Amino acid sequence: MTVNIENYKEIASELSQHHVTLVAVSKTKPVEDIQALYDMGQRDFGENYVQELVDKQAMLPKDIHWHFIGHLQSNKVKYIASFVHLIHGVDSFKLLTEINKQAAKTNRVIDCLLQVHIAQEDTKFGMNEAELDEVYANINGLADLRICGLMGMASFSDDLEKVRMEFKYLKSLFNKFLPLTMDHGPWSILSMGMSGDYHMAIEEGSTMVRIGSLLFGARNYD
């Protein structure tokens, strides 16, 4: 087992003081490690790959809140629609439409976050401000999903001021769209911050952080 129990206890205690939700990023990690954190009280886990998520969901306790945090393809939504707790990376109206369709088929309302491209890197997915406007101009027909807030990934950079400005920008968009969301709420989640920058993200208003390597050990990406 590679779970860092001491880190988990420290991070969970810190986040509870700030009323911030911890999503333990468990992608590529064995079910034994997830079960170990579950046994300590952790319920929110994040996965990046649909098949891996489906396999783990079948083997682990049913009260786990599974977060899909990767880039979700429209043709894969149907595989997770019946159980996913929150889809973080919704980056197009097309994907929203498919989530709504699959939610209706499973008689559920699926909670989603709109992903905003805040990093100065081409490798990150997400909408820009104009695309967010377009979503809200066309969302009224989507009755089987709830948009609960925004998600973003800052630049992978040693320039902490640049990272802070990206977080500030995402927070400003969160505040801008808050009045527009009353019919599609609850608009309460700002998912930003990972292992290397979550302290700063919390300072800038994050309500949910996605932490992997500090809990499960280092890997190529987090």
Confidence at residue 7, expressed as pLDDT on a 0 to 100 scale? 94
CATH number for the domain whose boundaries are 5-215: 3.20.20.10
Predicted local distance difference test score (pLDDT) of residue 159: 87
Among the ranges given (39-53, 93-107, 137-151), the one the predictor scored with the smallest mean pLDDT: 137-151
- The answer to whether 194 and 209 are in contact (CB under 8 A) is yes
Q: How high is the pLDDT of residue 156?
A: 84
- Residue by residue, DSSP assigns 97-137 as HHHHHHHHHTT--EEEEEEE--SSSTT---B-HHHHHHHHH
Domain spans of the chain, in order of start? 5-215
Q: What pLDDT score was predicted for residue 112?
A: 94
Which position has the higher pLDDT, 143 or 84?
A: 84
pLDDT tens-digit readout, 137-151: 888 888 899 999 999
pLDDT-derived band at 219, boundaries 50, 70, 90: low
Between CA 203 and CA 192 the distance in angstroms is 11
Under a CB-based contact definition with an 8 Å cutoff, are residues 87 and 72 in contact? yes
The amino acid present at 26, given as its one-letter code, is S
Q: pTM score, two decimals?
A: 0.92
Instruction: Determine the straight-line distance between the first and last CA of the chain, rounded to whole angstroms.
Output: 19
Six-digit token string for 184? 């599609």
Position 157 pLDDT exceeds 90: no
* Type of residue numbered 203: E
Q: How many C-beta atoms surround the C-beta of residue 22 within 10 A?
A: 23
Can you give the pLDDT at residue 95?
Answer: 95
Per-residue pLDDT band at 222 (split at 50, 70, 90): very low
| pLDDT reported for residue 220 | 40
DSSP 8-class letter at 185: -
Q: Which residues contact 52 (CB under 8 A, 6 or more apart)?
A: 27, 28
What is the share, in percent, of the chain residues with pLDDT greater than 90? Answer: 73
Q: Is 88 helix (H, G, I), strand (E, B) or coil?
A: strand
- Residues 34, 45: contact at Cβ < 8 Å? yes
Dihedral sign, Cα of residue 219, residue 63, residue 56, residue 34: positive
pLDDT tens, 172-208?
Answer: 999 988 876 655 556 889 999 999 899 999 999 999 9
Query: Which position has the token pair 């066309």?
Result: 138
Instruction: Report the pLDDT value the prediction gives residue 8, as an integer from 0 to 100.
Output: 95
Compute the radius of gyration of the chain from its Cα atoms.
Answer: 17
Cis amide linkage into residue 30, ω under 30° from 0: no
